[in-house]
Chain A
């Protein structure tokens, strides 16, 4: 039997052996964690609109995001956010807190290689694609904006 065919068959077999875990618990956890993070965000939003009634809505939103980003970095530092992430899955990744965690966790991890080559260089090992795709995408959107 030729190798390619054997490998294809083996992979099909392995796939069939992988235990099927129930999807619902993890979907529920993701829903719960994501929902709570968004509700906390809403809390900050209401707080800032109450404290600074003169700010525009977009500025209040920006303040709210900055606050939860800061808090996430703190929770990453004290070693809580990875526990939340392992429990909540996508629920902890998709909110902006996931972005924040993906910047702070390599920064903290690679601190031991020094400030320049550790923290600064490795900071974007995971979140780099978000910044790159974000900037490239926004330029494309802006280009479209010229014509609409």
Chain B
């Protein structure tokens, strides 16, 4: 079965998020832990900035949970740069046992799911899962030089600068991981790299249907179903696809890429990048969960698994989506359960 139900329901003790200046002007600005004023982080290259950003995020998450780097058993992470250098170099600096992941923009959910499995099975006590992206480093790797005067098509998305990390642990807190679904790689033959939302929407649809079926739930059981970075167009397509499968999504559905930017910002279809769902989840969604304003949340990070080479050779874009379900538990009941063990 694609869905893994956590028997011991590991706890998500804390999350930490940092975003860049543009994202820091958006409607979620009050939820992020830190907003960068200078997105170079005083580093010489944008790759180094991204590395520093991820390092700050991981350290921030560990600090916020009241732990030290020595308490962390594993670091699950990945990013969008070639050979996931930002994560590996971060792991080098922090001397953490590192499990490198790549699911493009779906990395956050993949990392959380694997972290959940490790803690659930008693393989680790505290695990950190995190990822980030930087607009400028992604742009120079995937698209054109920053100073090239080109126009983007209206379906393009804007890679966010920012990211987030979560600490999954067996120490009680009021947010728990319930289940995770690893998605199938789906490809509906979209080859336009400027329309990734359309390429990823079928993957999100497939994963969510599988998750709902295996958990025996309907979309109404969730306070929020959040897709990673489908963008405005992608999420419209996604809603249509779900309706085609006779599943109607209500107002509880939203897309992290649509939420992160202010409507007046000219970011085309919205945000994208691994850091998009990471920062929105660890910033906005997690703080709502911790307060109990959301009781049950499904995070579905979506990723497009192409490379510049495959798209230049005319191949279509495969999409992937991983889903992780979270629930809010009252702190008093959580403690009782532990005593009961």
Q: Check whether chain A touches chain B (CB < 8 angstroms).
A: yes
A contacts, CB < 8 Å to B: 4, 6-8, 10-11, 13-14, 17-19, 21, 26, 76-77, 79, 81-86, 88-89, 92-93, 98, 101-102, 104-106, 108-110, 112, 126
Binding-face segment, B91-99, B142-150, B327-335: B142-150
CB atoms of A14 and B190 under 8 A apart: yes
17 additional contacts (CB under 8 A) given A76-B149, A109-B140, A112-B44: A4-B189, A6-B188, A7-B187, A10-B188, A11-B188, A17-B237, A21-B154, A81-B149, A82-B150, A83-B149, A86-B150, A88-B149, A105-B146, A105-B148, A105-B149, A126-B144, A126-B145
Q: How far does the Cβ of A122 sit from chain B's closest Cβ, in whole Å?
A: 8
Q: Is the interface of B mostly helix, strand, loop or mixed?
A: loop
Q: How far is the CB of A22 from chain B (nearest CB, A)?
A: 11
A10 x B147 contact (CB < 8 A): no
A55 to chain B: closest CB distance in Å?
31
How far apart are the CA atoms of A10 and B244 in the complex, in Å?
12
Q: Is B155 close to A, CB under 8 A? A: yes
Contact in complex: B189, A10 (CB < 8 Å) = yes
Given A17-B237, A18-B154, also A10-B148 (CB < 8 A):
no
Shortest Cβ-Cβ A-B pairs, 6 listed? A85-B149, A7-B189, A109-B145, A105-B147, A105-B145, A105-B148
CB distance from A145 to the nearest CB of B (A): 35
Number of interface residues of B (CB under 8 A): 26
Least Cβ distance of B266 to chain A in Å? 9
In chain B, what residue has the closest Cβ to A112?
B45
Contact A10 B202 (CB under 8 A): yes
Residue of B nearest to A79 (CB): B147
In the complex with contacts A19-B233, A112-B44, A82-B155 CB distance below 8 A: no
Instruction: Tell me the B142-193 residues at the A interface (CB within 8 Å).
Output: 144-152, 154-155, 187-190
Q: Is the CB of B149 within 8 A of A82?
A: yes
Q: Looking across the interface, which residue of chain B has its beta carbon closest to that of A90?
A: B151
Whether B127 is near chain A, meaning CB under 8 Å from some CB there, is no
| Closest-CB distance, B191 to chain A (whole angstroms) | 9
Task: Check B154 against A92 for contact (C-beta < 8 Å).
Answer: no
21 A-B pairs (CB sep. < 8 Å):
A7-B189, A7-B316, A10-B190, A10-B202, A11-B188, A17-B198, A18-B195, A77-B147, A79-B147, A81-B149, A82-B146, A82-B150, A93-B149, A93-B150, A98-B149, A101-B147, A101-B148, A101-B149, A105-B146, A109-B146, A110-B140
Which residues of the other chain, B, contact A10 by a CB distance below 8 angstroms? 188-190, 202
Give chain A residues whose Cβ lies under 8 Å from the Cβ of B45: 112
Q: Which B-chain residue is minimally distant from A11 (CB atoms)?
A: B189
CB distance from B140 to the nearest CB of A (A): 6
Q: Would you call A14 and B147 a contact (CB within 8 A)?
A: no
Chain A's closest residue to B198 (CB) is A14
Report if B236 contacts A (CB, 8 A).
Answer: yes
**CA A21 to CA B155, docked complex, whole Å:** 10
Please list the residues of chain B having a beta carbon within 8 angstroms of any beta carbon in chain A: 44-45, 140, 144-152, 154-155, 187-190, 195, 198, 202, 233, 236-237, 240, 316
B148 cross-chain contacts in A, Cβ below 8 A:
82, 85, 101-102, 105-106, 126
User: Do the beta carbons of A81 and B237 come within 8 Å of each other?
Assistant: no
Q: Which residue of A lies closest to B155 (CB)?
A: A18
Q: How distant is the Cα of A18 from the Cα of B190 in the complex, in angstroms?
A: 13
Chain B residues with CB under 8 Å of A26's CB are: 151
B151 touches A86 (CB 8 A): yes
Residues of chain B within 8 A of A14, CB atoms compared: 190, 195, 198, 237
Name which of B146, B147, B236 has the most chain A CB atoms within 10 A of its CB: B147
- B149 & A17 in contact (Cβ 8 Å cutoff): no
B190 touches A11 (CB 8 A): yes
Contact A104 B147 (CB under 8 A): yes
Question: How far does the Cβ of A20 sit from chain B's closest Cβ, in whole Å?
Answer: 9
Q: Which residue of B lies closest to A113 (CB)?
A: B45
A21 to B202, CA, bound (A): 25
Once bound together, how far apart are the Cα atoms of A18 and B187, in whole Å?
Answer: 19
- The residue that A76 contacts in the complex, of B147, B188, B237, with Cβ under 8 A, is B147
